[in-house]
Amino acid sequence: MNRQVVTRGHIDDEVAAIIAATDDDVFRRGVRDWLASALQRLAGSTDWRTRAIRRDFRLEFETYLCRAGFSALGWPRRYGGHALDLARQAVFLEEHSRIEAPLPVNMIGHGIVAPTLLAHGSEEQKERFLPGLLDNGTIWCQGYSEPSTGSDLASLSTRATRCEGGYRVNGQKIWTSFADVAHRCFCLVRTGDAGSRHRGITVLLVDMKSPGITVTPIRQITGDADYCAVFFDDVFVPDTDRLGEENAGWSIAMAAAGFERGTYFIPRIVRLRSELEQIVRLAARTPRGDARAIDDPRIRLEIGELLNDCTALRALADDMLRRTARNETPGAEGSVVKLLWSEAHQRLYQLGMEILGTDAILGPGEECAPRHGAVQFQFLWTRAETILAGTSEIMRNIIAERGLGLPR
């Protein structure tokens, strides 16, 4: 049972030494220095911060990290992971956020697919799919939403019909993030009859190169096109690419959502504090009449509230990590974390826009704007965070019904 299922290829010697460090401070300093020089190396003469929100650079940096050895930090060793404890994982995230390293693109892959595969995949599937996550060679997307299916996920209608050796899939997914660069799709399909709701859903791990798939990027509020419409026209998916049993997809999807709302948001919560520090720096540099924006009592008040939230959310996130480590599936607490974090993050950039004053009318990512237009970008982007992965209203329903047991 304990045989090595997935073997990781060669990793950077320096990274191997950092991972093996027994001393916490040595580990932290190692990660910090390594990240700084890696960013320098990749960005060349330009400041990486100006490129941190660009998708190509995010992907390039993420893959560089993974190939050097900074991936699968918490997975068990026999799947090629480093089996680092939570404290160490948190240190890595803290250093990643302190230096404002670009956020990963393959979040679905590392944050959702990996833990779900480890929990529900067959050994053959783990063997086949985990290596692509170790080296980031396989980018994943998540095919849940459809034109008529959003919050009410159990209503989905993209149909998979049985055929020789697998399924034929027909239908359409929408708002699928990064589908245009993804190699695989973690996809929910209808295998039961039309009215079967959550009892008739199956998870397929669809190869995005399959004949019959068309991907059309959709432009977003930020001007970027990071999500897509995905059309399935008689797409063949082999049985070996089904995760779990037929019609048993709902419970897998719920477990995956638990990972998403729990562990997936933790890096973002860790980031909140350094983001707030950036906003404070911005306020200290922005003139307001004879004074600076930072001297404005209203702005200070809001900074104070956000500061309290940073500390409290971090305590909540640590609690969550401990539960995950004890193999408790995050329940309503995951929704609490998602709700509070996404709303605090929005307030942070509303504050940022207020500090910008007239510069707020410059576009997202605009080079001549303070912080290269990152504030405008985040202000717009954070609007999405109370919608994606379950809207705030749905989070409140879950918290009330599952956390407090209120009647439906």
Partner 1 sequence: MTLLGDAGESILREPCRRALIDAEPHAELTGAKSTADAIAARHWSMACELGWTSILLDERDGGIGLGLDELVALSEEIGAHLFCGPWLASAVLAPGLLALSRSRAQDFEWPGTGAAISLAVPRPLPDSTGATRYLGEHPDLASHYLLIDETSEPWGVSCRLLAATDVRLLSRPTALDPTCPVAELVPAADGLGERIETFGDDAARLLRPVHLAIAAELNGVCAAILERAVAWVGERKQFGRPVGSFQGVKHRLADAYANFTKALACARAAAGSDDPYDAQVARVIASEAAARAGRDYIQHLGGAGISWEYDAHLYLKRAVRLNAIPPVAGTLSRVNTDRFIACIDV
Q: Binder to ligand FAD among 48, 61, 140, 144 (CB under 6 A)?
A: 144
Toward partner 1, which CB reaches closer, 13 or 305? 305
Smallest gap from Cβ 47 to ligand FAD, in A, equals 26
Is the sign of the CA dihedral 59, 314, 352, 228 positive or negative?
Answer: positive
129 binds ligand FAD (CB under 6 A): no
Q: Does 285 bind partner 1 (CB under 8 A)?
A: yes
Out of 176, 191, 222, 378, point to the residue binding ligand FAD (CB under 6 A).
176
Q: How far apart are CA 188 and CA 142, in angstroms?
A: 8
Interface stretch with ligand FAD, choices 73-81, 157-165, 370-378, 390-398 (CB under 6 A): 390-398
Per-residue tokens: 273: 């504090």
3 state SS of 140? strand
Instruction: Tell me the closest approach of the beta carbon of residue 299 to ligand FAD, in angstroms.
Output: 28
Residue 87 within binding range of partner 1, rule CB under 8 A: no
On whether the CB atoms of residues 51 and 100 are closer than 8 A, the answer is no
**Cα torsion at 286, 289, 295, 301 (round to 10°)?**
-90
Query: Is 48 a binder of ligand FAD (CB under 6 A)?
Result: no
| Nearest alpha-carbon partner for 158 in 203, 225, 216, 218 | 203
Annotation marks residue 393 as catalytic: no
| Residue 190 · residue 162 · CB < 8 Å | no
CB of 297 to partner 1, least distance (A): 9
Q: Does 192 bind ligand FAD (CB under 6 A)?
A: no
Q: Among residues 146, 260, 275, 302, which one is catalytic?
A: 260
Q: Contact at 8 Å (CB) between 148 and 283? A: no
Nearer CB in complex with ligand FAD: 1/404? 404
Distance of closest approach, residue 393 Cβ to ligand FAD, in angstroms: 3
Q: Is 405 in the site for partner 1 (CB under 8 A)?
A: yes
Residue-wise DSSP of 227-286: EEEEEEEEEEEEGGGEESSTT-HHHHHHHHHHHHHTGGGHHHHHHHHHHHHHHHHHHHHS
Residue 92, both tokens: 């890595």
- Residue nearest to ligand FAD as judged by C-beta position: 150
Cα separation, 149 vs 90, in Å, equals 35
Residues that bind partner 1 (CB under 8 A): 277, 280-281, 284-285, 294, 300-301, 303-305, 307-309, 311-316, 318-319, 332-333, 336, 339-340, 393, 395-397, 399-401, 403-408
